Amino acid sequence: MYCFTEVLYHGKNHLISCNSAEKIMFSQHNPLFSVDGSLSSRSQEFLCIFLCACTSIICCSSDCHCVTFFLNLHQHSFYYFFYCLQENRQFGSKMTDSKYFTTTKKGEIFELKAELNSDKKEKKKEAVKKVIASMTVGKDVSALFPDVVNCMQTDNLELKKLVYLYLMNYAKSQPDMAIMAVNTFVKDCEDPNPLIRALAVRTMGCIRVDKITEYLCEPLRKCLKDEDPYVRKTAAVCVAKLHDINAQLVEDQGFLDTLKDLISDSNPMVVANAVAALSEIAESHPNSNLMDLNPQTMNKLLTALNECTEWGQIFILDCLANYTPRDDRESQSICERVTPRLSHANSAVVLSAVKVLMKFMEMLPKDLDYYGTLLKKLAPPLVTLLSAEPELQYVALRNINLIVQRRPEILKHEMKVFYVKYNDPIYVKLEKLDIMIRLASQANIAQVLAELKEYATEVDVDFVRKAVRAIGRCAIKVEQSAERCVSTLLDLIQTKVNYVVQEAIVVIKDIFRKYPNKYESVIATLCENLDSLDEPEARAAMIWIVGEYAERIDNADELLESFLEGFHDESTQVQLQLLTAIVKLFLKKPTETQELVQQVLSLATQDSDNPDLRDRGYIYWRLLSTDPVAAKEVVLAEKPLISEETDLIEPTLLEELICHIGTLASVYHKPPSAFVEGNHGVQHKGLPGSAGSAESESPDAVSAGAATEAPAAVIPSQGDLLGDLLNLDLTPPATTGPLPHSGGMQMGAMDLLGGGLDSLLGGDLGGSPAMGAGFGAPPAAMPPAFSAPVSGSLYDLFDLDNGVGMPLGSFCPPKTVWLPAMKAKGLEISGTFVRHAGVIQMEMTITNKAMSVMTGFAIQFNRNSFGLAPAGPIQVPSPLSPNQNIEVSLPLNTVGPVMKMEPLNNLQVAFKNNIDVFYFSCQYPISVLFAEDGKMERQVFLATWKDIPNENESQFQIKDCHLNSDAASNKLQSINIFTIAERTVDGQDMLYQSMKLTNGIWALAELKVQAGNPNYTVSLKCRAPEVSQCVFQSYEAVLKN
Amino acid sequence: MMTMISQLFILSSKGDHLIYKDFRGEAGNDVINVFYEKVTALPGDQPPVVMSHRDLHFVHVRQGGLYWVATTTSAGSSPFTIIDFLNRLAALVTDYCGSLSEKSVQMNFALIYELLDEVVDYGYIQTTSSDVLKNFIQTEAVSSRPFSLFDLSNVGLFGAETQQSKVAPSSAATRPIQSSRDQGVFVDVIERLSVIIGSNGAVMKADVEGEIKVKCYMLNCSEMRIGLNEEFSIGRSTLRGYGAAVHVDECRFHQAVKLDEFDDHRILKLCPSQGEQTVMQYQLSDNLPSPPPFRLFPTIERDNRGRLLIYMKLRCDLPPKSAAINVSVSVPVPKGCVSLSQELSSPEQRCELKPQSRSLVWTVPRCSGGTQLSAVFKLDVPGLSSASMLEVGPVGLTFELPKLTSTGLQIRFLRLTPVQPGPSQRWVRYVTHSDSYIIRV
């Protein structure tokens, strides 16, 4: 059997194909084949080589481009081997068997191609079916496009439908080919059979190819006015399809108006589709007046509602929900006409009707009889929704959850339908439980509790937990039931089932929060179960209870201590709670628990990496060390009661969700904007306000109110303390009373006053505006110990050998030579700065070391950091003779131009005389800028110290200073560094000092003086940390003087 | 804001693509695999109903072991509508293909595509009524029922094609949707009973959800009249006479049902479309006309060897001529229960300990009305404490009550117009299933 009939030779490429083929197969055990003699010798040669190669591993020679060949195996049917390489370099030598077998699909396509072109109708149909089957499983059969399109012109409707199905799928990828189909479409749109007309217009709309749309317009126009309603309803949908492809075209062609006319069509199916199409188009044009819902159209819709198919009713109801009635009478009449839908068998219709009614009910005055009737009518359909499949039940329950929150009165008597069935899926059970709590009231609480108690003994752990939690929520919601709830919970704790006990403890904590000092008797029972708690939430709850009622639990310290052993293994939640609880305990029983509190504070602050924990630890530490009385007020403050319904959906969101009943939003309980990107133009919906009701508050106001309240609500639940700390009453300590803490603690406390609270307040307080320009740069790291004067100065600033008297006790640094004679043609200037009675003086000694008389002195300053400038011209009374010197005092002010200098206190001076102009720079001690009103109020000091971020703090050591703290304080006072407070801890004097620069910058300092230790420590905090260095220099200068 | 289905696909339980149809061109078919990954990775406590992937939301149901999935991108789409629709679609496919399985869907994919084309257009649901659809559908169903000799009667001589199968498409509307099905009408009254009986024996809740289903395979049946009990009453306020009547709280009807004779004569009139439809749904809570079918009297105690003893008396309160079948009593047992020995009153009863669900299951194949069964279960529970006694939780019962309705609803008569010639095949069946029957101990 020879089957090679045709060999094409294209340059170096061989194409061998054949005319008949049955099955694809290749076997290396059947190497028996013969080659058609009609092959050219070159092709034969190639083929032999190739096939030999194939039997081992498929590896083709480089000149093989495309090969198709057939093998014949004895007299069996034909086996063919179809092999196609399009780019041989892609395959190289890596061809494997699997690759080979996948390529056989080409053969399948080839085969299908032949069948599609068959003359037999049945065969054609079968072939198209095969094509569609391949399409479904994801094979690419787009190569058959022309062949399938060829089958389109047929009078067999079944075949036509199949071809159209194919077209819809592939037209987009073959837009040019799709044009081929247009003629048939246009012809089909005029077919006498309405089924074919509808089919053509439906398919045409699904071919999302721009080029086709223009051909679509005419047929569509005809079909929209077709005599057959089936065609009209299909055409109505087609307008929406076309609009999606080319909106402008639809508008230009006037299809929208035709669509609007269809709302009045005699056939309800057409009306429903027209409504659906218009609604969708209107959604993409939020401002258009497309769905112009007026009473007339409403009337039409409501009429069509009664006759439509169930799915059409849903479209119409969804559309009705967008309408805003003019008044309550219209609202009532719509409700009356929608109400019969509530008894429809299709539960989706029921739910859509509920949505419309829920919305329009808002308009009805509550005292209206009809309002009550309507409420009664709503309950049964909602209940029947629960008889559906679990999936539907779940969606229904999510919706009922919303409805119950909005109008609990509808279902208040229907508690029983929400009882959990044992065969409900867990997600239905949990949802039912949630609704039961929402419906719980004094009237039915006994029933509910009995149910919940039963649930708590079930097998499903998640459900049991939720049930226990639900009991707690009942206690909080219905005050009268609290006692029963607590005793129920105690019963459950007796079961000793681990997760039940833990869950119960968590909810009992909440009950304590709601009813403080009422149920402490149960604490003993709780404490018995301490060992079985292994979940963080339960441990934290238990610790909270122990801390809160520490004074009534005899062994509270032991209990808490037992937790402390594994402190670092606990979760953060437990650690934080433990810290707070122990501090509470300490404040309540200070005598026995000092060690414990120190232990926990050091664990929290020193050994923990958790910033929250550390900060909280520092805050307590500082608080306790500063003022135990205040600490007591803060930590043991009365806590706000927790609210009844913590999990209610926020009212504005609820209103929006009510408008979206039945939709995805109602299942997610999120507004559509939260899960849909805006391409469909999501509109926020609100319920219409009822006339004269109190719900006129704007949504914005509500949400704003909620936002401001939020932090206050959050903080107490975190750890009661922080909230109170924020409005801390900063009463200064009356005494520097005995504090049971070590010195190390002081250090810690010092460090954190800036840190913890700053991170809490989080505000970037920045420098004062005046300094903004000059001190914009971030603070450079300060050297820990400062010794030599800042580089750049020519001479030692503080030459102690140059003794100069201090005027009137105020500190005056010794004069230094600013301008040596040899550099200024015999003029020598030495000087210093002094502040006296609020006036900054530049004290200079001008010496004439030249050989001639000097006259015409003048002085000018360059712009400098603090705007120092001469207050007047320099007064030199007479010409200066050689070897004569004169003392000049130049008053300065600080209103000159400002420019940041390096170093900060650098001052560049130009000095002129009759000989020349000389330039020199000098540095002034920053203390001359310390204003006399630099004494800060204590509270302000404390607050400011906290305000200033920690990184602005710098510490310096002053060595070899033998003053006691009082002397130091006095000395510092002379340069306007004021001591605000003083404390002695462990023989260390802590001086808290403040100073204010002339430009309004405050610097705060803490000076540590220890008796017998000549080294002082200064910690400086300033919003402009650049000045710290200079301030320190002043400290050192004045103290060492 | 309305329901728009973007894509619809049917997957086998293994994730094979059986049917895929894109209605709106909003997403590619790669989402099928995304869906399958999501649904198989879903933890048990998560509601599987709606899942989202980027902008796309999947809604699915499982029917016949297949995943029926619809996707939507519109926030206004109602999952409720879509689920309902998917269930209807599955029912429709069952009606057309005879059964619902991977095989039948595969064999009839062309038919299903054709159905989908008519049922949904551009994502808008058009109709699910087989009455309407039969006018449009051209493809014939391929039956995937197992081969039986019975089928040979339909086949011509030795497999030759009969004239019947070459019916021209124009006659589609008069053809039965399933050619091979025997003609007949089935009216099923199915009730589901959910009951909670408290530990004190008081009935805390007793609900019945019922439905009347009609399966019709008659060719030329233009009207069907179903007569219910004449004393049937609806709603709490409309109790007639002394209230002894058959009574339900709430009632819903298929929209094809005409109710003009319902008020006076309790007759439902309908033109049945071929296939299955739920004609009426109703429900009743709390006021059952008869006592609940089962009561249980358990005693739980510890014997001196530390074993847990559960004595159970199960009383069947049905009328003497009725019986419950496939009764299964499931009793939660304490954690750590290792073995069970039992004394049962008859050999066909069984009892089994199921450690994974922490329960013992006592099955009784048949239990006649008025009888009382007793059983003793001895459980070995290491470390039995008084607390673990409390773990013996509520007992759940499942059973079937054939030929019985809990509400007492009866079909008085079933008349077809025009009068069917030949032996009529009209079947009326009643059954009550336990939905959730719980007895607390």
Concatenating the DSSP letter of every residue in A292-355 gives ---HHHHHHHHHHHHHS-HHHHHHHHHHHTT---SSHHHHHHHHHHHGGGGGBS-HHHHHHHHH
Considering only CB atoms, B117 lies closest to which of A161, A169, A668, namely A161
Nearest CA to CA, how far is B175 from chain A (Å)?
Answer: 16
- The dihedral region occupied by A343, where left means phi > 0, alpha psi between -120 and 50, and beta the remainder, is alpha
Q: Report the alpha-carbon distance of residue A913 to residue A853 in Å, rounded.
A: 10
The answer to whether the Cβ–Cβ distance between B49 and A206 falls below 8 Å is no
Residue A877: per-residue pLDDT? 76
CA-wise closest residue to A581 among A551, A555, A560, A553: A560
DSSP annotation of A442: T
Tokens of B245: 């009547």
Establish whether the linkage from the previous residue to B418 is cis, with ω within 30° of 0.
yes
The answer to whether the Cβ–Cβ distance between A138 and B17 falls below 8 Å is yes
CB < 8 Å to B391, chain A: 457, 495, 497
Tokens of B424: 């009529």
CB pairs under 8 A between A and B: 247
Q: For chain B, which residues score pLDDT lower than 70? A: 1, 44-45, 143-183, 236-244, 387, 420-424
CB < 8 Å to A172, chain B: 25
Tokens of A536: 């963080």
Buried/exposed code over A840-861 (b: 16+ C-beta within 10 A; e: otherwise): bbbbbbbbbbbeeebeebebeb
CB < 8 Å to B139, chain A: 158, 161
Residue A324: per-residue pLDDT? 83
The answer to whether the Cβ–Cβ distance between A424 and B20 falls below 8 Å is no
CB < 8 Å to B250, chain A: 343, 380-381, 383-384
The answer to whether the Cβ–Cβ distance between B20 and A421 falls below 8 Å is no
CB A1028 within 8 A of CB A962: no
pTM of the model: 0.62
* B251, closest residue in chain A (CA to CA): A343
CB A576 within 8 A of CB A616: yes
Nearest CA to CA, how far is B355 from chain A (Å)?
Answer: 12
| No. of helices (H) and no. of strands (E), chain B | 7, 26
Residue A727: per-residue pLDDT? 36
Backbone CA torsion sign across A782, A783, A784, A789: negative
Q: Report the alpha-carbon distance of residue B279 to residue B188 in Å, rounded.
A: 10
Report the complex ipTM: 0.72
**Residue A701: other Cβ atoms inside 10 A:** 10
Nearest CA to CA, how far is B9 from chain A (Å)?
Answer: 10
Q: Chain B window 201-230: which residues touch A at a Cβ cutoff of 8 Å?
A: 205, 207, 209
Contact of B50 with chain A, judged by CB distance below 8 Å, is answered with: yes
DSSP conformation letters of A472-536: HHHHHH-GGGHHHHHHHHHHHHHT--HHHHHHHHHHHHHHHHHSTTTSGGGHHHHHHTGGG--SH
Mutation for testing the A interface, residue in B19, B62, B66, B80 having most A CBs under 10 Å: B80
Q: Report the alpha-carbon distance of residue A174 to residue A183 in Å, rounded.
A: 16
Backbone CA torsion sign across B253, B259, B261, B263: positive
CB < 8 Å to A373, chain B: none
Mutation for testing the A interface, residue in B23, B60, B69, B78 having most A CBs under 10 Å: B78
Residues 6 or more apart whose Cβ sits within 8 Å of residue A512: A519, A545, A548
* B30, closest residue in chain A (CA to CA): A138
Considering only CB atoms, B436 lies closest to which of A133, A343, A423, namely A423
Residue A893, strand partner residues:
A869
CB < 8 Å to B238, chain A: none
Q: Report the alpha-carbon distance of residue A983 to residue A70 in Å, rounded.
A: 105
The CA dihedral of B124, B127, B133, B137, to the nearest 10 degrees, is 20
Q: Report the alpha-carbon distance of residue B373 to residue A517 in Å, rounded.
A: 53
Q: For chain A, which residues score pLDDT lower than 50? A: 1-104, 678-682, 691-809
Q: Amino acid identity of B408?
A: G
CB < 8 Å to A457, chain B: 332, 390-391, 393-394
The answer to whether the Cβ–Cβ distance between B332 and A458 falls below 8 Å is yes
CA A250 from centre of chain: 41
CA-wise closest residue to A975 among A861, A879, A833: A833
Mutation for testing the B interface, residue in A141, A293, A391 having most B CBs under 10 Å: A391
Q: For Cα atoms A340, A344, A346, give the angle at the middle one, nearest 5 degrees.
A: 150
Backbone CA torsion sign across A940, A941, A945, A946: negative
Nearest CA to CA, how far is A348 from chain B (Å)?
Answer: 5
CB < 8 Å to B126, chain A: 233, 269, 273, 309, 311
Contact of B149 with chain A, judged by CB distance below 8 Å, is answered with: no
Residue A354: per-residue pLDDT? 92
Nearest CA to CA, how far is A195 from chain B (Å)?
Answer: 7
Residue A270, phi then psi, degrees to nearest 5: -65, -40
Nearest CA to CA, how far is A499 from chain B (Å)?
Answer: 13
Considering only CB atoms, A496 lies closest to which of B252, B332, B387, namely B387
Nearest CA to CA, how far is A158 from chain B (Å)?
Answer: 6
Residue B399: per-residue pLDDT? 93
Residue A67: per-residue pLDDT? 35
Residue A754: per-residue pLDDT? 38
Residue B242: per-residue pLDDT? 55
DSSP annotation of B301: E
| No. of helices (H) and no. of strands (E), chain A | 40, 18
